[in-house]
Amino acid sequence: MIEYRSKLDPKEAFICPPLTVSRKRKLDPDSVQPTKSDDITPELLLTSPDNFHILGGRESGKTSLAHYLSVLAAEGVIDRPRIPIIIDFCKLKRGECGLTRAIATYFGTLRQGLSVEDRLKEGDFVIIVDNFPNALSQSVKDFIQLKAKYKLVRWILLSDSTIATPESSLGKDADFDIRVVHIQTLPRRLIRELSKRWTDQIGVDNQKAFSTVMAYLKTSHLPRTGYMVTLILWGIYQEKRLDRINEALLLTNVIDHLLGKANFAESLSNTFDPVSKEITLQYIAMIMRDSRGVMSKNDALKSLIEFFERKGLRYDADRVFATLVRCGLLTDFDGTVSFKYRCFEEYFYANFLRTDASALQRVLSDRTFC
Q: What pLDDT sits at residue 27?
A: 40
Q: What pLDDT sits at residue 167?
A: 52
Of 65 and 22, which is predicted with more confidence?
65
pLDDT tier, 37 (very low <50, low <70, confident <90, very high otherwise): low
Closest by CA position to 226, among listed 66, 91, 60, 88: 60
pLDDT tier, 244 (very low <50, low <70, confident <90, very high otherwise): low
Q: Per-residue pLDDT for 103 more than 60? A: yes
**Average pLDDT of the chain, as a whole number:** 81
Of 266 and 181, which is predicted with more confidence?
181
Rounded to the nearest angstrom, the gap between the alpha carbon of residue 49 and the centroid of all alpha carbons in its chain is: 25
Q: Per-residue pLDDT for 310 more than 80? A: yes
Q: What percent of the chain stands above pLDDT 90? A: 29
**What is the rounded average pLDDT of the residues 286-291?**
87
pLDDT tier, 260 (very low <50, low <70, confident <90, very high otherwise): confident
pLDDT tier, 269 (very low <50, low <70, confident <90, very high otherwise): low
pLDDT tier, 202 (very low <50, low <70, confident <90, very high otherwise): confident
| 3-state secondary structure string across the chain | CCCCCCCCCHHHHCCCCCEEEECCCCCCCCCCCCCCEEECCHHHHHHCCCCEEEEECCCCCHHHHHHHHHHHHHCCCCCCCCEEEEEEHHHCCCCHHHHHHHHHHHHCCCCCCCCHHHHHHHCCEEEEEECCCCCCCHHHHHHHHHHHHCCCCEEEEEEECCCCCCCCCCCCCCCCCCEEEEECCCCHHHHHHHHHHHHHHHCCCHHHHHHHHHHHHHHCCCCCCHHHHHHHHHHHHCCCCCCCCCHHHHHHHHHHHHHHHCCHHHCCCCCCCHHHHHHHHHHHHHHHHHCCCCEEHHHHHHHHHHHHHHHCCCCCHHHHHHHHHHCCCEEEECCEEEECCHHHHHHHHHHHHHHCHHHHHHHHHCCCCC
pLDDT tier, 77 (very low <50, low <70, confident <90, very high otherwise): very high
Q: What pLDDT sits at residue 303?
A: 92
Q: Per-residue pLDDT for 83 more than 70? A: yes
Q: Residue 328 in contact with residue 258, Cβ under 8 Å?
A: yes
Q: What residues are paired with 160 via a beta bridge?
A: 56
Q: Per-residue pLDDT for 212 more than 70? A: yes
Domain ranges of the chain: 18-183, 188-245, 260-365
Fold classified for 260-365: Arc Repressor Mutant, subunit A (1.10.10)
* Max Cα–Cα distance, the chain, nearest Å: 64
Q: Quick one: 18-183 is in which CATH superfamily?
A: P-loop containing nucleotide triphosphate hydrolases (3.40.50.300)
Give the span between the Cα atoms of 68 and 65, in whole angstroms: 5
Give the span between the Cα atoms of 338 and 332, in whole angstroms: 7
Mode of pairing for the β-strands spanning 52-56 and 154-160? parallel
Rounded to the nearest angstrom, the gap between the alpha carbon of residue 48 and the centroid of all alpha carbons in its chain is: 24
Q: What pLDDT sits at residue 263?
A: 62
pLDDT tier, 164 (very low <50, low <70, confident <90, very high otherwise): very low
Q: What pLDDT sits at residue 18?
A: 95
Q: Which residues contact 81 (CB under 8 A, 6 or more apart)?
A: 124
Give the span between the Cα atoms of 23 and 101, in whole angstroms: 35
Q: What pLDDT sits at residue 368?
A: 54
pLDDT tier, 49 (very low <50, low <70, confident <90, very high otherwise): very high
Q: Residue 353 in contact with residue 360, Cβ under 8 Å?
A: yes
pLDDT tier, 319 (very low <50, low <70, confident <90, very high otherwise): confident
Q: Residue 46 in contact with residue 77, Cβ under 8 Å?
A: yes
Q: What pLDDT sits at residue 299?
A: 92
Mode of pairing for the β-strands spanning 336-339 and 330-333? antiparallel
**What is the rounded average pLDDT of the residues 51-64?**
91
Q: Per-residue pLDDT for 298 more than 60? A: yes
Q: For 132-160, what is each residue's pLDDT tens digit?
A: 987 667 778 888 888 888 889 999 999 98
Q: Residue 57 in contact with residue 161, Cβ under 8 Å?
A: yes
Between the two ends of the chain, the Cα-to-Cα distance in Å is: 37
Lowest mean pLDDT among 88-92, 94-98, 181-185: 94-98
